[in-house]
Amino acid sequence: MPIYHTLGTIPHKRHTQFRKPDGTLYAEELVSTEGFSSLYSLVYHAYPPTIVKELGEPYSVEPKIAREKHLKHTSLIGFNIKPEDDYLKSRKPVLVNADLHISLAAPRKSMTDYFYKNSQADEVIFIHEGTGTLKTGFGKIKFEYGDYLVIPRGTIYQLEFDTPDNRLFIVESFSPIRSPKRYRNAYGQLMEHSPYCERDIKRPTDLETIDQTGDFKILIKKQGLIYPYTYGTHPFDFIGWDGFHYPWAFSIHDFEPITGRVHQPPPVHQTFEGNNFVICSFVPRKFDYHPLSIPAPYNHSNVDSDEVLYYVDGDFMSRKSVVKGQITLHPGGIPHGPAPGSVEKSIGKEFTDELAVMIDPFRPLMLTEDAIQIEDESYYKSWVI
């Protein structure tokens, strides 16, 4: 996130001697992105972050593709994904392409006996149900319903859940997750017309240095494989850090909707972007106020992008019989629109309490075996009068 942040203790000058009370040196680490060309942080560890003791056998978590090519309006009943005790096992990729993987997860237990690092993708974890704490070396972020946790690649983390009832909607982005460029000024600050600002960004707090040596299992994801590493030092041994590269969170409930006299196009809902896709938030808002306005969306042909909606809560005016956790995928190439009857029914309505996350990828999504198992096969006929 392009806001400078610092926690813990750091030396006055970078790349200079920074010593422990016993006179030995702390270990400096530069965490940089896009080589040395983009956001970075400088981290000071109690021990070098390089002490590898053992390497386990890697295993695949690559999505198994069931439908590579398709041209069918598709719906998945997301809450039919079965809960699993283990966090990593609970993550079920459902819609994937070369730019992003979308997964659903219902983990029951906190991560206690291992740490996880995604070395190739930024992760956006939308908390649909559950509360808890994201724990990292950079500090902690408490999370609750509606939070987007944004965890940049390379961040070692654990999720601690308060209860076993958790539902997560996860995006792995193979490019950095950013705020929309049109909302940032030349200095990176979010501008007045942005639907959220820096004040809404939750940054890590409560840095707690865990100065421990021993055996620490870190599961590292790279190229679809999980590599089990055993390190000799606790990964949360940060004495301090500063910079622009760190995990952060933003609540969908803090997204200020942009409304107008007539129906506003989807980009007003845009919240984040990666290469070749955008993430949007549909939040409770007043409807259009032109005397002849039609609040329901128009039919549209997203000629060159797919469109994924993840229904979170509220009453979805453009669709009937939508359930929480449902996903619709409207592929580029064919038009889609409001369900029969919902256009007329929307006229005169002044407010919607819908809450949803939308992802528009510009390259087609493939469906996985996990997706096929939770598919509502009749969805493509839902416009038949």
To the question of whether residue 306 is assigned a binding role by annotation, the answer is yes
Stretch that binds Fe ion, among 19-27, 90-98, 122-130, 305-313 (CB under 5 A): 305-313
Q: Least distance in Å: CB of 180 to Fe ion?
A: 19
Identify the H or E element spanning 369: helix 369-373
Site string for Fe ion, 70-99 (x = CB under 5 A): ------------------------------
How many angstroms separate the CA atoms of 214 and 56, rounded? 16
What are residue 228's DSSP bridge partners? 219
Beta bridge partners of 274: 277
User: Any idea which residue has 């501008």 for tokens?
Assistant: 191
Query: Closer to Fe ion at the Cβ: 99 or 307?
Result: 307
CB atoms within 10 A of CB 26: 22
Q: Is 193 one of the catalytic residues?
A: no
Please choose, out of 187-195, 242-250, 286-294, 302-310, the segment that lies near Fe ion by the rule CB under 5 A. Answer: 302-310
Please state the closest distance from residue 306 (CB atom) to Fe ion, in A. 10
DSSP string over 111-142: --S-EEEESS-EEEEEEEE--EEEEETTEEEE
Q: Which is nearer to Fe ion, 122 or 307 (by Cβ)?
A: 307
Binding to Fe ion (CB under 5 A) within 242-261 occurs at none
Q: How far is the CB of 278 from Fe ion (least distance, A)?
A: 13
Nearer to Fe ion, 1 or 309 (CB): 309
d(C-alpha 260, C-alpha 288), whole Å:
5
Question: Looking at beta carbons only, is 137 or 338 nearer to Fe ion?
Answer: 338
DSSP letter at 325? T
Question: DSSP class of residue 282?
Answer: E
Q: What distance in Å separates the CA atoms of residue 176 and residue 299, rounded to the nearest whole number?
A: 32
CA-nearest of 103, 108, 110, 98 to 126 is 103
Binding string to Fe ion for residues 3 to 42, with x set by CB under 5 A, is what? ----------------------------------------
The 307-346 contact track toward Fe ion, x by CB under 5 A, reads x---------------------------------------
3 state DSSP class of 188: coil
Place of tokens 């009370």: 21
Structure tokens at 36: 């040395």
Stretch that binds Fe ion, among 42-50, 67-75, 301-309, 373-381 (CB under 5 A): 301-309
Torsion sign across C-alpha atoms 171, 175, 176, 179: negative
Q: Indicate the burial class of 142 (C-beta count within 10 angstroms; 0-12, 13-18, 19 or more).
A: middle
Smallest distance from Fe ion to CB 383, Å: 12
Q: Residue 299 Cβ, how far from Fe ion at the closest point, in Å?
A: 9
Task: Give the residue with the Cβ less far from Fe ion, 43 or 356.
Answer: 356
108-116, 220-228, 240-248, 304-312 -> range binding Fe ion (CB under 5 A): 304-312
| Closest residue by Cα to residue 233 from 209, 207, 208, 215 | 215
Q: Which of 70, 263, 269, 290 is catalytic?
A: 263
For 351, phi then psi, to 5°, come to -150, 145
Rounded least distance, CB 321 to Fe ion, Å: 17
Question: What number of chain residues touch Fe ion (CB under 5 A)?
Answer: 1
Nearer to Fe ion by C-beta: 323 or 334?
334
User: Which residue sits closest to Fe ion, CB atoms considered?
Assistant: 307
Residue 190 buriedness (CB in 10 A; 0-12 / 13-18 / 19+): buried
Could you tell me which stretch among 52-60, 164-172, 303-311, 317-325 binds Fe ion (CB under 5 A)? 303-311
- Residues that bind Fe ion in the complex, under the rule CB under 5 A: 307
Q: Give the annotated binding-site residues for Fe cation.
A: 300, 306, 336
Q: Which residues are catalytic?
A: 263
Q: Give the annotated binding-site residues for homogentisate.
A: 336
